[in-house]
Amino acid sequence: MKQYLLLVLFTAVVTFVLTWAVWRLSLRFKLYPGIRERDVHKTPTPRLGGVAMFLAVAAAFLFSSQQPFFSVIWANPGPVLAVLGATLVIVLVGVADDLWDLDWMIKLGAQFVAAGIITLLGGLQILSLPIGGLTVGSGWMSFTLTVFAIVIVMNAVNFIDGLDGLVAGVCLIANGVFFAYSYLLVRDTGASTYFNLASFLAAVLIGACIGFLPFNWNPAKIFMGDAGALMLGLLMASSAVAITGQIDPAVLDPEQLGRSQLLGAFIPILLPVVVVLLPLLDFGLAIIRRMRAGKSPFSPDRKHLHHRMLDMGHSDRDAVLIFYAWTAVVGFSFLLMYIGTGQSWPGDYALGVVFGVVGVAACLVLTFLPSRRQARPAPLKEPA
């Protein structure tokens, strides 16, 4: 665990320093676009924070390669290098979009290319689902399922990037939960070492979000842009595939681990989805909303969940904190249920269920009863 904490600290410090440097350079050379109609912020703000985050992630990969504790990850460097290469592809396209607004088809194509690099060159694919020994059928089915899963998570994370500190904080909480889950899951499967690619990626993401958040908190000095949001989604999806899709379903047999036959067998596949539940919900609603209106599913609008919370009267910071609360409640509820699955029913899930019920009730109150209602000013348009 100390080595993972050192990795988080290293990534956070490097991200903080590089974000400051990118922010200063962006201001000096005016590397920021004007205000768009759907934007919430009122002054032009640099959007190249994703560049700093990627460089910090790359530095963390290099740092880990020199540490004997992570030698098990680098014993087979193919998956690690494939993830890093795919991240580079998506960051380059994201930066181009942040500067020049690329067509959505180009961005989507790049996302499929990045996902293909991870699945084909890195060999990270969903080969099995830990549900009663269920395995994915053919190689093409596994490839297709993995690619679409990665692309969906990338877009889901990118879609909620609309308020200061929203994506960085949500991903920080989600990856914190997922790190604990992957760490414990490897322990439960009897592995000889706790060092694995999924936990490594989660730790790197935690550090990157910690280092970036001080500059992105309201009022934000810099945004991560599409480059940063898509990168976070890509790495989160890769982490989930690396742990859930690769584990032998037989070792998660409910009888072997002493779990209830029903929920216990589903938690390992549910929790990686749960940690990105809010982004996925927003993504799904946006796709349905836009297609019903006869528009492209990737056409921008101002009807995301965070926009709706602002229209309800929440301040920017309150809306962000409520998103944090929802992410924490849902994620920790399932994590507590997973931790409790080593016991016999009904005591195994009780703590997670109680935490979830109380937490959801509190979040509903916070969501629908804003502490101070205020009229939202019309967003500024770009100068002619």
* pLDDT value, residue 381: 39
Q: What is the tens place of the pLDDT at every residue in 4-20?
A: 999 999 999 999 999 99
Q: Confidence band (pLDDT; 50, 70, 90) for 211? A: very high
- Could you report how far apart the first and last alpha carbons of the chain are, in Å? 54
CB proximity list for 162: less than 8 A, separation 6 or greater: 38, 40, 304, 306, 307
State yes or no: 226 annotated in a binding site.
Answer: yes
Q: Within 10 Å of residue 233's Cβ, how many Cβ atoms? A: 29
What distance in Å separates the CA atoms of residue 206 and residue 183, rounded to the nearest whole number?
Answer: 14
Q: Where are the domains of the chain?
A: 2-368
Task: Name the nearest CA neighbour of 208 among 12, 6, 9.
Answer: 12
**Dihedral sign, Cα of residue 196, residue 200, residue 202, residue 203:** positive
Query: Using alpha carbons only, what angle is made at residue 12 by residues 217 and 112, rounded to the nearest 5 degrees?
Result: 85
For residue 260, pLDDT over 60 is answered with: no
Chain-centre distance for alpha carbon 153: 7
Q: Which of 289, 315, 8, 252 is nearest to 159 (CA)?
A: 289
Higher pLDDT, 221 or 348: 221
Residue with tokens 């029903």: 262
On whether 98 is known to bind a ligand per the annotation, the reply is no
Containing 100, the helix (H) or strand (E) segment is helix 77-100
| DSSP letter for each residue of 107-127 | HHHHHHHHHHIIIIIS-----
What does the pLDDT read at residue 15?
98
Which of 116, 144, 331, 114 minimizes the C-alpha distance to 230? 114
Dihedral-angle region of residue 30 (phi above 0 means left; psi in -120 to 50 means alpha; beta otherwise): left
Q: How many alpha carbons fall within 13 Å on the CB side of residue 259?
A: 23
Question: How far lies 230's CA from each of 163, 273, 362, 380, in Å?
Answer: 16, 17, 31, 26
**Of the ranges 93-102, 104-113, 179-188, which is most confident?**
104-113
- Residue 231, pLDDT > 80, answer yes
